Copies of this chain bind each other. A is one copy, B any other.
């Protein structure tokens, strides 16, 4: 586990270094929005999605230097979604990663624009010649990222999440679908990105999507568990919000024990999916286990 955490940390540092280069602060007044972008994207997140991109790239022998920009673009998309999700009109959160959320640190207008600009920049980063993949590969990455992040993916999931607040009696399949869109879609992109960069066949791409689907759901279940068992200090954000809002979660639907059991089963299935890969997939196997064992 320590080895995994060190590797995640090392990747996060590389991502941070590259993001610093990708988001230079202009000298003119609009620098305020760039500062807000940097505040959010370089704010010390674990960079799990970039880690997944780098590890899936490794499976196909893609050089890390080349995969890094794609990893950074994905982190930009993830962080834009956090900025917008935290807004007063959405989840209205004041705290993120132990620091004021973007609209608290700056203001609502700046936060909306910072999110917009991060999303916009992400696609620019992948499309650029400096993203050293052939143009067709770049197009495929952009196409899949757009699909994963858009109204049939992450944004659709966030829409469902907002509607869920006023929906009584949500059933398990609906909660599963909500989470698969809201967090699962970007996880799937992270895993598939390596296969696209490495020009793997569609069967392999499907395999990696299946892994992502399992660990994404396990990740969300453990999120629900941490929301109940965790504290503000180690989580760096508000806890027990779902419980207080009487929102349907995996725990309210399954009970704590059954939810834990389900998370474990998903993890084992994810690990089994990677059977055909050799030791290059060891970090991904460890990651799947970490997702359900983490404390924050």
Contacts and interface: CB of A to CB of B under 8 A. Distances in A.
A119 B116 contact: yes
* Identical copies in the complex: 2
A152 B26 contact: yes
A177 B109 CA distance: 20
A112 B112 contact: yes
A116 to B, nearest CB: 5
Contact of A89 (B28, B80, B112, B120): B112
Query: Mostly helix, strand, loop or mixed at chain A's interface?
Result: helix
A149 B159 CA distance: 24
Please classify how large the interface on chain A is, using the bins under 10, 10 to 19, 20 to 34, 35 or more: 35 or more
Interface string A142-163: 1101110111100111111011
A30 B181 contact: yes
Interface in A105-156: 107-110, 112-113, 115-117, 119-121, 123-124, 126-129, 134-136, 138-140, 142-143, 145-147, 149-152, 155-156
Interface of A: 26, 28-30, 32-34, 37, 80, 84, 87, 89-90, 107-110, 112-113, 115-117, 119-121, 123-124, 126-129, 134-136, 138-140, 142-143, 145-147, 149-152, 155-160, 162-163, 177, 181
Given A33-B151, A37-B151, A121-B146, 9 more contacts: A28-B156, A29-B160, A33-B156, A113-B162, A116-B155, A119-B120, A120-B146, A123-B146, A142-B142
